[in-house]
Amino acid sequence: MRRKLIFVLVDGIGDVAIPQLGNRTTLESASTPWMDRLAGNDPSMSLARPAPNNQRLCKGGINGLMDPVEPGLACGSDTAHMSILGYNPRRYYRGRGAFESMGAGLDMIPGDIAFKSNFATLDKATGIVVSRRADRNFEGLGPVLCDALDGLKLPSFPAHSVAVKYATEHRCGVRVRGPNLTDAITGTDPLKDNKPLVTCRPTDATSEAHQTSKLINELSETMYAILTAHPINVDRIAARKNPANCVLLRGCGSCIDVPSIRQLHGFKGFMIAPTCIIAGLGMTVGMDILNVPGATGDYQTDLMAKGKASLQALRDEGQSYDFGFIHIKAVDDAGHDRNVELKVIELLQFLERIDTMIGYIATELAEDEKRGEVEHTFVLTGDHSTPVLYGDHSCEPVPFTVCHLGALSPDSSATTSWYSDFVTGFSECAASHGVLGRFCGSEVMGIVKRYMGIL
């Protein structure tokens, strides 16, 4: 029997109780029958509540709460994904810049450094970054401004080259190539609006760090000069819009050398990830990145296109994929924007669209199982919590479920080869009753492989 794994990760899915939702989370409030069914929904039982001990186990998966890296850590998406996929970020992580740049289409070789960067608005007279995001709706402007910056020359560093490529929204990847570079430096991002632009500084005492920090400060000044004079920003200022006159150089990173997913776990995998940083991480660990038309990182993303592309890839005998990873982004943005109205209205609808995609994938793969010779395991979780009341990543654990799709069939018995628990819905509170308890992201792949019967 061939075993295949489909993994859906919803960025920022965890939340805390929201007063506008009657002190429930968005997951508890949304209509998500397929997520609930994966977790173990039995129509005779109340959702999000454990069954009494004298009732039978629900058909569905096993559940728990996951700390993506470790308890108490409000982690980033990159370190969370590394941990969940089995790569200890405390050992391997060298900054997110390389992931972002690779995902944007910039190749990286040993010795390069790169940044995950924002187009921002800088008040040069005061040195204050007025807005870290010049504009969320940047798809029409970003590529043009990146072209203007790509290949710029640094007078004090003629042996070094700079490459810039548009990523998504207000973001771009920036790569610097040349001798004696190091990622042992700070960035220039103040991390909050209305704070001074940060001067890049070395984080160790080496000559390489001292030289690199000088280069990056010159790069920041050169980018400002080019962007200020660009016609797009001249027009934006005339229209009383924020000029995109500054590039915040964030998360300096270099190439990391890690074993591939296949070497580490035995899976040949693909990833569908419209955000460059996650796509770049997937490339780093040897996963094929599938480009899906219409699949973006915002609320307009074509979720069904992602679902159909994942099915096509899993069914492609020529590729022989046995691991598909789907990343969904927009939930995280709503939390970062602290937009309660958006979170409680549009996000509920978006979660229901995600649920529809999950149902489509699960139904189709269950049909494949009826033909025999393949068994599918479905994982659903997040990479961190982004509560709308906080506006940033937080340290709350996220719900996690892993389910054999065969266990959802009306013909299957809850006492056969698939173990389940008493959880009857997919949410933060419901998952706390799961048999997996609370665990760290580094344990995920081991849990999944044992559940699949390959460990």
In the three-class reduction of DSSP (H, G, I as helix; E, B as strand; rest coil), residue 447 is classed as: helix
Q: Give, for 131, the enclosing helix (H) or strand (E).
A: strand 128-131
From the list 64, 66, 61, 91, the residue with the least C-alpha distance to 79 is 91
Contact between residue 421 and residue 42 where contact means Cβ atoms under 8 Å apart: no
Contact partners, residue 417, CB within 8 Å, separation at least 6: none
Burial 108-125 (b: 16+ CB within 10 A, else e): beeebbbbbbbbbbbeee
Question: For position 330, what pLDDT does the model report?
Answer: 81
Question: For position 418, what pLDDT does the model report?
Answer: 56
Judge residue 291's burial from the number of C-beta atoms within 10 Å of its C-beta, 0-12 exposed, 13-18 middle, 19 or more buried: exposed
Give the strand pairing for 195-196 and 128-131: antiparallel
Give the integer Cα–Cα distance in Å for 141 and 241: 13
Question: For position 55, what pLDDT does the model report?
Answer: 40
Question: For position 59, what pLDDT does the model report?
Answer: 66
Q: Which residue has the tokens 């430096």?
A: 185
Contact partners, residue 437, CB within 8 Å, separation at least 6: 64, 65
Domains of the chain by range and CATH? 2-93+259-452 (3.40.720.10), 99-253 (no CATH)
Q: Give, for 250, the enclosing helix (H) or strand (E).
A: strand 246-253
Question: For position 413, what pLDDT does the model report?
Answer: 42
Question: For position 410, what pLDDT does the model report?
Answer: 57
Q: Which residue has the tokens 């929201």?
A: 18
Amino acid identity, residue 446? G
Q: Which residues of the chain have pLDDT under 70?
A: 41-59, 339, 342-343, 409-419
Question: For position 41, what pLDDT does the model report?
Answer: 67
Give the integer Cα–Cα distance in Å for 312 and 309: 5
Question: For position 434, what pLDDT does the model report?
Answer: 95
Return the sign of the alpha-carbon dihedral for residues 418, 422, 424, 426: negative
Question: For position 409, what pLDDT does the model report?
Answer: 64
From the list 328, 368, 396, the residue with the least C-alpha distance to 8 is 328
Contact partners, residue 251, CB within 8 Å, separation at least 6: 95, 96, 97, 100, 115, 116, 187
DSSP string, 358-413: HHHHHHHHHHHHHTSSEEEEEEEEES-B--TTTTS-BS--EEEEEEEGGGGSTT--
Question: For position 411, what pLDDT does the model report?
Answer: 56
From the list 29, 7, 9, 8, the residue with the least C-alpha distance to 388 is 29
298: left (phi over 0), alpha (psi -120 to 50) or beta: beta
E strand residue ranges, 35-107 = 62-67
Q: Give, for 268, the enclosing helix (H) or strand (E).
A: none
How distant is the alpha carbon of residue 196 from its chain centre?
A: 28
Q: What pTM value is reported for the model?
A: 0.83
Half-sphere exposure of 200 (CA within 13 A, CB side): 26
